[in-house]
Amino acid sequence: MKALRAAAIAVLMLAAISSFAESDAQKALDRFKSMAGTWTGKR
């Protein structure tokens, strides 16, 4: 039972960390999108 509880806590912690990381990445992407100028990709 202790192993199940520890696994559940680990999953919840990983979910919380990934949601914070995703929001930071989204903020950075939105910041880049808002920059003025014409952007083209390299090939």
Element (H, E) at 12: helix 2-33
Q: Model confidence at 18, in pLDDT bands (50, 70, 90)?
A: low
- Tell me what pLDDT residue 21 has: 64
Task: Tell me the torsion sign for CA atoms 13, 16, 22, 25.
Answer: negative
Q: Model confidence at 12, in pLDDT bands (50, 70, 90)?
A: confident
Overall pTM surpassing 0.75 (yes/no): no
Tokens of 3: 């192993």
